[in-house]
Amino acid sequence: MTVNTGATIDIAELFETHESERFNLHSRSLNEQMVRVLRTIGYDVGFCKGSGQYLYDRKGDRYLDMLSGFGVFALGRNHPAIRDALKSVLDADLPNLVQMDVSTLAGVLAQRLLALVPHLDKVFFANSGAESVEAAMKFARAATGRSGIAYCSHAFHGLTYGALSLNGDEVFRRGFEPLIPDCVCVPFNDLTALDKVLSTRRIAAFVVEPIQGKGVILPDEDYLRGVQDLCRRYETLFIADEIQTGIGRTGKFLAGEHWDIEPDMVLLAKALSGGHVPVGAVMMRKWIFDKVFNRMDRAVVHGSTFSKNDLAMAAGIATLEVLKAERVTENAARTGDRLVRELSAMQERYELLKNVRGKGLMIGVEFGAPSSLKLRASWSMIEAASKGLFCQLITIPLFKEHKILTQVAGHGSHTIKLIPSLTINDADCDWIVRAFDEVIADSHKAGAVWSLGKTLAQHAMKARA
Ligand SMILES: Cc1ncc(COP(=O)(O)O)c(C=O)c1O
């Protein structure tokens, strides 16, 4: 019997009492710079509720979230099936994290994941994307006896030391060196460069995102198959980081299925638990797993206290159920195709819009220098203040005037990334297309958008001073 000691906390009430102080709390005790950023760009609306693909601010206004918590809420926020699964774990008094036992729910989730990726045999669970990358790097070194890890320019695999050592963007690395040794950068989409690096036979693994998240960069049609062939030729492990692209995001369970590849390891995280509980998974071939866990005295040679916890595992099982029952992946393919088609069609009307690309609901909308004299001076002024700043002239009006939350696809990028919940519907697509059309049209006129640009450019200059 559980005795209620009177210490029950009403979290909803706690949230309501403190929500208006959130920026002060963060300025004082957490990341003050983040608060400054949000206030500068006018994103301090105070979100109070999340439901499906929508967020609601303190006035009750509804926003379409095209960011989905960096891709974790593939099923939308607070999906009833995920919520019920989490509640039922707590109500069942399960023997969570016994440690000197093995987890039943982890066994079930591993089996169901492997059924979806039948060329792989084993799963190692972790607590985040970066932790999955760290594990993959350790497994690769132990399995091959080689120290090198190859990764791509513009790659993003997380921000812990191992993952950061595979980061293709100087901005993230600067100030944190030295990183781990023997990590080699090769250009994405360049098989000749990869051949040269792998032919040294010092590379344990090549880690690559099938579609690069920073910039939404798609592989050339024959790239990933070529990667697989080279990895096999030089006995390098082929590791697909599907942390962002996996679990239906691109219109297939794994993005690699678009190109018919069978990597030696596949990394998942983000949407695997429906977004509600941190989780990560490294799926791999048996022989790799067995090189690490090869004797009884090495049964705990790699692991993490919270991995395989019941809440994450139950949420993962429920996520796979919802994905199938609600045909979520198919919806991502259909709505994604529609968005790419309709946004691309705007290119002929707008000289600043250069390219729309993507697979399923991982879409990049790229802008670039105008050809007309009329716009060139404004573009140059903004870009001189901070490369990539132009995109804020699209994302800020999308947010303020059209209540759509988007992000720029990386430092200095001219691409806006759309990674909404995979449950968006046709009315949401109408909302997105209409909003982009209006905002891009405004950016082609002298007026409010460019005066916002001037203000942002001044802020950017001040921040650098
Ligand atoms: C492709 C990829 N790998 C790894 C990570 C790191 O995941 P986490 O933030 O859970 O550590 C991310 C996060 O954005 C990612 O997009």
> Exposed e or buried b for every residue in 260-294, given b needs 16+ CB within 10 A?
ebebbbbbbbbbbbbbbbbbbbbbbbeebbeebbe
Average pLDDT, integer, range 176-199 = 98
Q: Determine what percent of the chain is predicted with pLDDT higher than 90.
A: 90
Contact 148, 306 (CB under 8 A): no
pLDDT digits (tens, 9 = 90+) for 35-90: 999 999 999 999 999 999 999 999 999 999 999 999 999 999 999 999 999 999 99
Of ligand 1's atoms, which has the minimum distance to the CA of residue 160? 11
Centre of ligand 1 to C-alpha 71, Å, is 9
Cα(135) to ligand 1 centroid in Å equals: 13
Q: Is 151 in the pocket of ligand 1 (CB under 6 A)?
A: no
DSSP secondary structure string, 2-16? ----S----HHHHHH
Going by alpha carbons, the residue nearest to atom 4 of ligand 1 is 157
Cβ(128) – ligand 1 distance below 6 Å: yes
Q: What's the confidence (pLDDT) of residue 1?
A: 53
Residue 4: band (very low, low, confident or very high) from pLDDT cuts 50, 70, 90: low
Q: Considering only CA atoms, which residue is closest to atom 10 of ligand 1?
A: 129
The yes-or-no answer on residue 270 being catalytic is yes
Would you say the CB of residue 162 lies under 6 angstroms from ligand 1? no
Residue nearest ligand 1's atom 2 by CA: 157
Instruction: Let me know if 290 is a catalytic residue.
Output: no
Catalytic residue among 156, 253, 390, 399: 156
Q: Measured from the CB, is residue 55 less than 6 Å from ligand 1?
A: no
**Which ligand 1 atom sits nearest the alpha carbon of residue 278?**
10
pLDDT of 464 above 70 = no
The Cα 329–Cα 1 span in angstroms is 43
In angstroms, rounded to a whole number, what is the distance separating the alpha carbons of residues 307 and 281? 9
| pLDDT score for 347 | 97
Classify burial at 98, counting beta carbons within 10 Å of its beta carbon; exposed 0-12, middle 13-18, buried 19 or more.
exposed
Confidence of residue 338 (pLDDT cuts 50, 70, 90): very high
Q: Which residues pair with 210 in a beta bridge?
A: none
Test site for ligand 1: of 157, 167, 266, most ligand atoms within 8 A of the Cβ: 157
- The reported pLDDT for the residue numbered 114 is 98
Q: What distance in Å separates the CA atoms of residue 354 and residue 40, rounded to the nearest whole number? A: 28
Ligand 1 centre and the CA of 377: distance in Å? 37
Is the CB of 213 inside a 6 Å radius of any atom of ligand 1?
yes
pLDDT of residue 207: 99
Is the CB of 241 within 6 Å of ligand 1?
yes
Read off the pLDDT of each residue in 288-314 and give the average, rounded to a whole number. 97
pLDDT of residue 447: 74
Predicted confidence (pLDDT) at residue 110 exceeds the cutoff of 60: yes
Across residues 388-402, what is the average pLDDT?
95
Indicate the range of 163-167, 260-264, 360-364, 445-449 predicted with least confidence: 445-449
Q: From 67, 132, 214, 244, give the residue whose CB has the most ligand 1 atoms within 8 Å, as the site to mutate.
A: 244
Say what the pLDDT of residue 179 is.
98
- Write the pLDDT tens digit of every residue in 379-392: 998 888 888 899 99
Catalytic residue chosen out of the listed positions 241, 264, 310, 428: 241
Nearest-atom number in ligand 1 for the CA of 130 is 11
User: Distance, CA 130 to ligand 1 centroid (Å)?
Assistant: 6
Q: Which atom from ligand 1 is nearest to the alpha carbon of 158?
A: 6
Q: Ligand 1, residues 270, 282, 407: which to mutate, most atoms within 8 A of Cβ?
A: 270
pLDDT for the residue 21:
97
Asked if the model's pLDDT at residue 259 lies above 60, the reply is: yes
Query: How much is the pLDDT for 418?
Result: 98
Q: Are residues 76 and 330 in contact, defined by beta-carbon separation less than 8 angstroms?
A: no
Average pLDDT, the chain: 95
pLDDT score, position 453: 79
Which of 207, 106, 203, 109 is CA-nearest to residue 158?
207
Helices (H) and strands (E) in the chain, counts: 18, 15
Ligand 1 center from residue 175 Cα (angstroms): 20
pLDDT at 401 over 90: yes
- pLDDT (average), residues 273-300: 97
Whole-number Å distance between alpha carbons of 430 and 220: 30
Section 328-338 average pLDDT: 98
Cα(209)–Cα(232) distance, rounded to whole angstroms? 18
Residues 6+ apart with CB under 8 A from 36: none
Of the ranges 149-153, 168-172, 271-275, 340-344, which one carries the lowest mean pLDDT score? 168-172
pLDDT of residue 386: 87
Query: In the prediction, which pLDDT does 465 show?
Result: 62
The band of 457, judged by pLDDT with boundaries at 50, 70 and 90, is confident
Q: Is 241 considered catalytic here?
A: yes
Which residue out of 252, 270, 308, 417 is catalytically annotated? 270
How far is it, in rounded angstroms, from Cα 339 to Cα 432?
Answer: 8
User: Sorting pLDDT into bands at 50, 70 and 90, what band is 449?
Assistant: confident
Distance, first Cα to last Cα, the chain: 63
User: What is the Å distance from ligand 1's center to 349 Cα?
Assistant: 36
Ligand 1 centroid from CA 200, angstroms: 29
The predicted model gives 306-310 an average pLDDT of 97
Q: How many CB atoms neighbour CB 95 within 10 A?
A: 10
> Residue 141 has what pLDDT?
98
Residue 239 has pLDDT above 60, yes or no: yes
The CA 40 to ligand 1 mean position distance, Å, reads: 26
In the chain, pLDDT over 70 holds for what percent of residues?
99
